[in-house]
Structure 1
């Protein structure tokens, strides 16, 4: 199952995609936000191009685990996106993923001016990878039966 990961922001939406087996997430692109119609069109084109069956969107809980105003914005966007695309959207804790992405880029030697272009898609891949890692084996491999085990 192909799953798209989103890191929703006011100005940009980072996008990541998992491989067909659901093992790894790769940073894909960044959608520069212009309007609702354009944003949805960009995401819809990716959903169609890659045969995406589910979207995981980062849910920005506060460090103490409570919800803030940004959570409302993400949920509103997710509900509208789910209605427009007709595929399930799952919210997933994204606490500190952007900070982690920035640290990865800094350690990798990416110039600070170039980080802005990739930090959102890297954060999306961290969100998606966290979700994939938490999936039970049965959900990743629904057709695998006990007879397949050695």
Structure 2
């Protein structure tokens, strides 16, 4: 299955299927999981990156154990809308993933997701250590929730 745009991603998913949101970093992969109604995103796990094959096997295990039908991969665009090396690395990850597993995959703009989550944790008076422990999976949750909210709004606007 190729990378899908927003509308085709939704159409490719079974009615009651979970989606995983991914915040792909150079050292970690933050993951979030939707509920089956694709209304709420919850932090799931942070994978410490080792090498692609090890990282992807852990991701496959989580996909299988949670009956996930699609992935929403945060795309780290520059603030001016241009792409850089992190976008290229994210697209390469998606390409390699899809060579190994045929499933629905879409990108979602993740600009400022980590900054927003970090600001929220600082406001909650979390220690630096605790923030470091949570930031990646919370950023994935932030990315996925943005996607889920947009999908819900889109569905509502298409109703007669």
Q: TM-score with structure 2 length normalisation?
A: 0.84
CA separation in 2, counterparts of 1:82 and 1:25?
23
Answer yes or no: is 1:84 the counterpart of 2:104: no
CA separation in 1, counterparts of 2:99 and 2:20?
16
1:102 to 108, 118, 129: 118
Q: Which consecutive unaligned segments of at least 5 residues does structure 2 have? A: 1-16
Aligned pairs for 1:96-135 (under 5 A) are 96-135=112-151
Query: Which residue of the partner structure matches residue 142 of structure 1?
Result: none
Q: Measure how far apart 1:40 and its partner are.
A: 0.4
Cα deviation 1:90-120 (Å, max 9, x = unaligned): 1110000000110111111210122111100
| Aligned residue-pair number | 140
Query: Which residue of the partner structure matches residue 22 of structure 2?
Result: 6
Answer yes or no: is 1:22 the counterpart of 2:38: yes
Q: Which SS does the other structure have where 1:65 is aligned? A: coil
CA separation in 1, counterparts of 2:101 and 2:119?
33
CA separation in 2, counterparts of 1:83 and 1:117?
31
Answer yes or no: is 1:57 the counterpart of 2:76: no
Q: Which consecutive unaligned segments of at least 5 residues does structure 1 have? A: 139-144
Q: Measure how far apart 1:36 and its partner are.
A: 0.9
Q: Measure how far apart 1:137 and its partner are.
A: 2.2
CA separation in 2, counterparts of 1:83 and 1:54?
15
CA separation in 2, counterparts of 1:97 and 1:84?
28
Query: Which residue of the partner structure matches residue 63 of structure 2?
Result: 47
Q: Which SS does the other structure have where 2:53 is aligned? A: helix
Answer yes or no: is 1:137 the counterpart of 2:155: yes
Cα deviation 1:20-54 (Å, max 9, x = unaligned): 10001001110000011110011000100110000
